[in-house]
Amino acid sequence: MANTTPEHLTARLRALESKLWTREYLMKIAEFDGATIAPENGAAARGDAMGALAGEHHELLTSEDARALIAELETAVAAGELTDPQVLAEVRTLARDQREAVALPTEEVEAWSRLTCEADAVWHKAKGANDWESFEPYVDRIVETLKRHAGYMDPTRDPYDVWLDQYERGMDAAAYDRFFEAVRKTVVPLVHAIGERGEQPNAPFLTAHVPDAVQRAMSFDLMKLVGLDLADTCLAFTEHPFSEGFAVGDARVATHIYEDNLLSNVYSVIHEAGHASYELGVNPAYARTCLEGGTSLGIHESQSRFFENTAGRSRAFMTPLLALLRKHVPEVYGSVSEDELYRAVNIATPSLIRTEADELTYPLHIMIRYDIERMLFAGEATAKDVPALWAKLTKQYLGLDVPNDTLGALQDTHWSGGSFGYFPTYALGSAYDAQYVPAMERAGVDLEGACAAGDLAPVRAWLRENIWQWGRGKDAGELVEDACGAPFNAAFYCDYLAKKFGELYRL
């Protein structure tokens, strides 16, 4: 008779999770390498290797043995034979992963990995060459593949809703429509009022030339300033800033340096350090299990936007930030005051590039992408229509003309990786972020004092306790409600934006 004691079942569960984690780890290594230091001609070989790993991962998760194990585990949970909270969370999470993976044939998973690896390489070339036409076929192929995959996973739902839910459990287009409508009612009038009545600061230091080597050295100090241990991370350089969590004790940051825009790199590093902090703050007991890593893209983005905006662009944080700027670039920042820096890093004015957008206009960039994705999935547009749609929506939301596709539809890497349904989580993350602040204050955290002192340890402790440690053990809705004492409410975000930018521009 098979050994089905709780201890034996748990050991079998952990053995399966370890095998899955190993393949995930290797795929992340290949992906990070491809986006940072890998040579251009290595894309095909990397794609083959990643496709093979993705196939192995899928076969492991969906094999008869794995299905039987999950069934045994769920039976034991239902019978009350497994009671350890972590094991219960692992069973719940892995069972969901398996149900969704079982729906996809292994050959589809392998083909998908190859397609997105190839598309990513084409996108990198296309962006630099302002060549939408070369990337266009991949967008159509990716959207059609995602529609097909959504049909495998849940044929009863709209395909786009399936993917929105994948990135943020419980969210669909109807929920995002309500959220964006609330944000639109706050942001659009503010942007118009600033354009009509707001006085923009004169800040020539924003475009001062700062050499690459100086910015690289400063980047490491920035990572330490916000609380990262450099023994847990590394800094790489890429076209599109990003971060990746590999394991407990290993989360990596990649930034992009513009020599005539130092603060772009400053806030990219702080932003990505927020992501890395989340990955590094997961309960070490979750290592090499399905609970390791962030629970959703929205929660992940709430961490990066918290560090970048709520802390990093606060008036209080100007004290340690300016000290660091003066240390590395005294010839530029020696005569800049904290108030001048605060106004400069919070300039609100429409711009073309999402990653360079200010905190207020940022959600408008997300709405552009959300609207286009909905049309592509609804069959109301194809990739050929995207540049024109991008120009139309940019004019509508931001009042700007799009001069070329490099500054338009090619600016983001996400679609090349198949990440449709991802963009809305960027705006949602900022809204979660705003709801954390009053919860922190009720817990006795002096956010302003921590920022002014350049010591975010108390803030990080609250985030670790309430957000980071849970990994994938809680879905976003439960996590926000437990951390904040109430369900998610967009009013916190709207009120925060109205108050901050109303005061900044004396509206």
The answer to whether residues 406 and 128 touch, using CB atoms and an 8 Å cutoff, is: yes
DSSP 95-110: HHHHHHHHTS-HHHHH
Task: Report the Cα 24 to chain-centroid distance in Å.
Answer: 18
The answer to whether residues 397 and 364 touch, using CB atoms and an 8 Å cutoff, is: yes
Q: Which of 31, 56, 168, 272 is labelled catalytic?
A: 272
For residue 294, is it left (φ>0), alpha (ψ between -120 and 50) or beta?
Answer: beta
φ/ψ of 251, rounded to 5, equals: -135, 130
H or E segment to which residue 496 belongs: helix 491-504
181 Cβ neighbours under 8 A, 6+ residues apart:
none
- What strands, in cross-sheet order, belong to the sheet with 235-237? 235-237, 250-255, 242-247
H or E segment to which residue 134 belongs: helix 132-153
Tokens of 257: 């340096």
Catalytic status, residue 272 = yes
CB burial of residue 419 (10 Å; 0-12, 13-18, 19+): buried
The answer to whether residues 427 and 294 touch, using CB atoms and an 8 Å cutoff, is: no
The answer to whether residues 119 and 142 touch, using CB atoms and an 8 Å cutoff, is: yes
H or E segment to which residue 159 belongs: helix 159-167
Within 10 Å of residue 401's Cβ, how many Cβ atoms? Answer: 10
Q: How far apart are CA 431 and CA 299, in angstroms?
A: 10
Residue with tokens 């921590």: 450
| Residue 493, SS3 per DSSP | helix
| Residue 219, SS3 per DSSP | helix
Residue whose C-alpha is closest to residue 402's, from 346, 348, 350, 345:
350
Assign 3-state DSSP to the chain and report helix, strand, coil percentages, each to 5. 70, 5, 30
Q: Report the catalytic residues.
A: 272
